[in-house]
Every structure is written in C-alpha cells, then in structure tokens.
Structure 1
Amino acid sequence: MTRVLVLGGTGWLSGRIAERWRDAGAQVTCLARGGRPAPAGTVLVHGDRDDAEAYAALRHQQWDEIVDVSSRADHVRGAVAALGDRTQHWTFVSTVSVYADDVTTGADETAARHPAAQPGDAYDYAAENVAAEDTVLALDVPTSVIRPGLIVGAGDQTDRFGYWAAAFARAGDGPVLVPPLEDAQAQIIDVDDVAAFAVGTERTGIANATGDSVSLRTLLEVVRTRAGHTGEVIEAPPGWLEEQGVAYWAGERSLPLWLPADMPGFTARSNDAYRRAGGTFTPLVDTIDAVRADEQQRGYDRVRRSGLTREDELALLDALP
C-alpha cells in the first residue's frame, strides 16, 4: 500500500489532497497542529511546525510520498531536514507569485523568480515560496513543484472569487460595482483540479497549475448569469476607485481579481506543462455553481476577508461621478 504523508491535511487545499490520496487507496497520515479534523479515513499526527520536534513521531517511518503546502521557508527547511531521506518522492505546492515578471504574457516555468528569502528576513509570500522551492528541489529524491494560479472553489476562506458570486446574488435586480473590465484578464483553477494533480508519485518537475487566461468581463458575466443577477453592472474608473480607497485583488474594501494595468502577465501564465502532465480542468460553470451554493450557505452578507459590504458598495455607486 502507498504510504503518504501530508504536511497539513486539515486545511482547504491540503485536506482535499489528503482525501484524493485516501480515495486512491493510499494510507494517509496528516501532520497538523490539531485545531481542525483530518479527513475521515486518514491518521492525524499532532505537530506544530514552529517546534523543532514537530516531526519526532515521523522520523523513523518510510513514505512513498510527502506533500507540503506551506508558504513558510523555515517550515519547509525543517521538514526536509527531518524527513528528506525518508521518502521516495516529495511534492511541494508553491505559487505563480514566485515569478518576478508580471508583464510578459505566456511565460512558462523557466521565467525568472524573485530572490529567495533568507533566514531573518521579514515575511514575503513570494520570496518565502522561492526559498521553499529551492530547498525541495535540492533533495536527492524525485520532486514535483506545483505552482498554482488563483485557486478557487467551495470553502475558500480568502473570499476572492466567492465575493463575485455573493455580490451578484445579493444584488438581485440592483446594481453591482465592478472594476474596469477593458483588457482585464483572469486565470483561475479549481481547488479539486490542483488536488488531483498533486496525487501521483511518477510525475516530476515544475508546472504552473492554472486555467486558461480568460477575459475578466466574460468570467464575471458567467458568474452573474449563474447567480441570477438582472440588475445593472457598473464599471468604475481605476483612478477614482483608488481615490476612494478601494484595493486591488483582495483584502478589506477591495474589488477582488482587479489588478493594476501593468500586470498583464500575472493572469496569462503558460499552463502547457500542466496539460502535458495530465492536469485537468473542471468546467467553469461547475466551479461557479459550487461556489455560489457555498456562498449561499455561508451567507452573502457575512463578514468577508475580501470585497465590499453591500452598504459600502451602494455608497460607492451613489458617489460615482
């Protein structure tokens, strides 16, 4: 039987990876702090990766596969030091944010990355992932580095993609504020597609796990249709939005998926390597329907990590020149 260790296994993506390996017939162990349950049919080992002894209970076991999704280089270094000689294959889930060039469209996995984070540096998401990749790629066993784009799907706690399903659904026949859509692109991937791609010990190398680049206008129109919105869609000028304190991409008081115009490459990475390695794509409407149902269950007007409240959105619409 294939023996798999998922470093995590209780989070959104790592939990789905653990489930996929379990469903493939593997014996799955999850290492996590224990604040959340591991998927049914897997074994949870408690360990805080800030603790040097986090891997003590695992050091004398052999694994066919280890999967890590941490975005902290110190966590990855600690895991590799403790377990790097205890597995036949290592998969690290990184991010397309490692790339230094956000202008060039169609760039593949050979594109230059940001400088790697050094011990003692202030936390930087991209630099930490670069350092973590370097640590994994230096192993003496076969390795896979997966660089997802924007991961979406039911259960996403970042609220970036889900915001739009909620915004259109809650508005009904009322207006919805959107960012400038001319020339804007989006590039997403379903969480279950990333999880499926992470399952397999024969694959090696680096791959951008992301969908095809699509017009943001088209994407939002599909979300709008599936949410049943019949009101007006109103675009706001970028300068005006910035003056009003509306943020790009994500976070409090933001319009998610909106990016500065000088970043066209961020949403147009090549996914050819992912396709060649057997990566799959969930139909867009299926992903949107799953997200819409999840948003409805969790509440359209709940407190969010990204987006605008309906009250704030209406106030901005009223203030538009």
Structure 2
Amino acid sequence: MQRICVIGGSRYFGKLLVERLRAAGHQVTVINRGSTPPPAGVEHLVVDRNDEAALLAALDTRTFDVVVDQVCYTPVQAAIAARAFAGRTRRYVMTSTIEVYDPRTAALPAAPSGTPVPEDQVDPATWQVALDLPWHDAAYLEAHYAEGKRQAEAAFAHAGSFAFASVRSAHVLGGGTQEFTGRLAHYAGRIARGEEIAVHTQALPTVFIHYAELADLLVWATAADFTGPVNACSDGPVDVYDLAEIVAAQAGREAVYRTVPEGEEASPFSFDRHYAMSNARAKALGFAFSRTTDWLPDAVAETLAAASAVPTA
C-alpha cells in the first residue's frame, strides 16, 4: 500500500485513476476545489492549488509516497506545488500532453519527416521557465497551453525537490459522454447527419490513447521508479480519414469530406503536420500498450449511443 495524493481527479481518466488506486488498496487523498466529491474511502482536501498558503494549511503535516498532478498547466502552478510538496513526497508524477511537441508552438529540433517523436525532442531539464508571463490570464493560458505544459514540466525538473516524472498523453478518447472535449462527438454527429468533415489536403497521422489505458498507465507510473518524461499512446498512428471511416462504419453512413485551403482550420484530429509520438520508452520500462484500432470502434459506438440518447427539441 502506498499513500498517494491526486491533484484534480474529479473527472474522466482522473476520476478513474482515483477509483483504481483505491481498488488496489492504496491510501488516496484527492485535492481539488470541491466541485465533485471523490469515491467513498478517499480523503478529500478542498483547496485551490493556486493559493500556496491555503494549500500548505490544507496539507498540514501530511506526507505521501507519490503525488499525481492531473491539473498542472503553468510553471507558476508547478513552482507552488514544488515548494508545497518538498519534503512531503518522494515522487511526483505530472500528467502532460502530446501538445508539447507541436512545432507551431515552439522552436523544436527538427525530426525526420514521418518519424514518431521521442521524449528528448522536448527536454524539461533544459527548457527555460518564465514565471513572469501572464499565466493567470485565462485567454493567455488558452493560447499558450502547450508552452504552459512545457514550462510546468521544466519548473518541476529544475526544482529538484523530489523524483519527478511526466506522462505525455496522446489525444484521449473513450468513455462516451465522459469525453468532455467533444472531439469524437464532433465526428460522430456530423457523419451520422451526413454532414461534411473538414480535412487538410494532406492529412497526416497522430496518436491516441483510451482513457482507461491512460488511467492504467498512471497507476503503473505511481509504482515505477523512472524519472523524466514518458510518452503515452496506443500502438498505431491514425489519420483523420482512418478515424472518420471507423465512425462511418459504426454509424452505417458514408463519410463526406471537404478539403480546406492551406492555413484554414480543419476538423479536430486533421493535421497538416506529422503529430505522432514514440511510446518506445514506456514499453522498455515495462508498460504494454493496446492497439488503437482494437478499442477505437467500441469508443465510437459509445459516443454514437450517447448522442442518440440525448433528446432533441
């Protein structure tokens, strides 16, 4: 049994993570602002993580074996957490994102075209941190989401307060209505209604992970001893046409496409740049991934079923 603190953990794969940690017999504490209570048997600390004094007061004398941070978006949040949990935990795992590799958001080293990127494409140990940027401004943060995640990883890595690892998640799907971004529902709805899907002239592949598989990986990461980033994605990159055809097959319809001019926004998951990660490091460390095409049809079916259950006006 470990004492594990989850920051966030109120929805989607974070909620499932808390349930699975508890089911495995761990002593779990959840920290969030109180919008959703955790499962029975889980300690709940209601506090705003951005308020350092309040966070320290809520933690009191508690210590943990591992902290899993589901909702760290800025280096300011990371710096607060690094100070608050220094001496309170031996290990800290931050949930990060594939978007740290987006070449549109940073000057990154060139990777061979079509090659899934490894973790060293973005090294948090060498990434610069700028705490004086307007990270508290919601519009700024939304526009700089990828850089916020890169700098958050870097702030933890630079702090050296505990063993630090980050899990860079691929695009997360599955769970029907739990998938709150609505990106899979976008395809399900448009194809079911016979509406066009906007795609790039040359749509390139990306990677995905099922929300339950990501929860499993985070559980695994709490018991592991690796440090630094690991990429989390199911095997097998998929492009927007692959995705749309799976949706079409489940919906019993044909997908209709509209090619957008260069520079125009297309539908979610249509990318004009190669946007795939390598999961080789996680595999070498002992985690076994599923294949995207093994679970994606069922995830699509869940989304279609959820959409059909919503009453229309």
TM-score scaled by length of structure 2: 0.80
Residue of structure 2 in register with 1:145 after alignment:
166
The 3 A distance-change label for structure 1 pair 77 and 44 is same
Alignment of 1:1-321 (within 5 A): 1-52=1-52, 53-69=54-70, 70-99=72-101, 100=106, 101=108, 104=111, 105-112=115-122, 116-121=129-134, 122-123=140-141, 124-137=144-157, 138-154=159-175, 155-168=178-191, 170-171=192-193, 174=194, 176-180=196-200, 182-199=202-219, 200-205=222-227, 206-211=229-234, 212-229=236-253, 231=254, 233-239=255-261, 242=264, 247-248=265-266, 255-259=267-271, 261=272, 263-264=273-274, 267-277=275-285, 278-281=287-290, 284-298=293-307
* 8 Å CA contact retained: 2:2, 2:65: yes
Residue of structure 2 in register with 1:317 after alignment:
none
CA distance in 1 between counterparts of 2:110 and 2:230 reads 19
Deviations 1:178-201 (A, max 9, x none): 424745313111111111111133
CA distance in 2 between counterparts of 1:39 and 1:290 reads 25
- Compare the two structures and name the one with the higher helix fraction: 2
RMSD over aligned CA atoms reads 2.7
Segment of structure 1 superposing worse, 179-188 or 33-42: 179-188
The 3 A distance-change label for structure 1 pair 256 and 110 is same
Deviations 1:253-303 (A, max 9, x none): xx21122x2x21xx2221111222314226534344234324532558799
CA distance in 2 between counterparts of 1:20 and 1:197 reads 11
Segment of structure 1 superposing worse, 209-218 or 16-25: 209-218
Residue of structure 2 in register with 1:251 after alignment:
none
The alpha-carbon deviation at position 127 of structure 1 amounts to 1.7
CA distance in 2 between counterparts of 1:89 and 1:302 reads 46
The 3 A distance-change label for structure 1 pair 286 and 301 is same
The alpha-carbon deviation at position 130 of structure 1 amounts to 1.6
CA distance in 1 between counterparts of 2:109 and 2:196 reads 29
The 3 A distance-change label for structure 1 pair 108 and 192 is same
The alpha-carbon deviation at position 41 of structure 1 amounts to 3.4
Unaligned runs of 5+ in 2: 135-139
Give the residue type in structure 1 aligned to 2:299: A
CA distance in 1 between counterparts of 2:152 and 2:184 reads 26
* 8 Å CA contact retained: 1:89, 1:141: yes
Total equivalences in the alignment? 284
The alpha-carbon deviation at position 148 of structure 1 amounts to 0.9
Deviations 1:119-178 (A, max 9, x none): 33342212211221122223343222111121112111111123223333x32xx45434
The 3 A distance-change label for structure 1 pair 158 and 302 is farther
CA distance in 1 between counterparts of 2:288 and 2:155 reads 24
Unaligned runs of 5+ in 1: 249-254, 304-321
Deviations 1:62-121 (A, max 9, x none): 111100022132222212211121012110111122234497332211114675443333
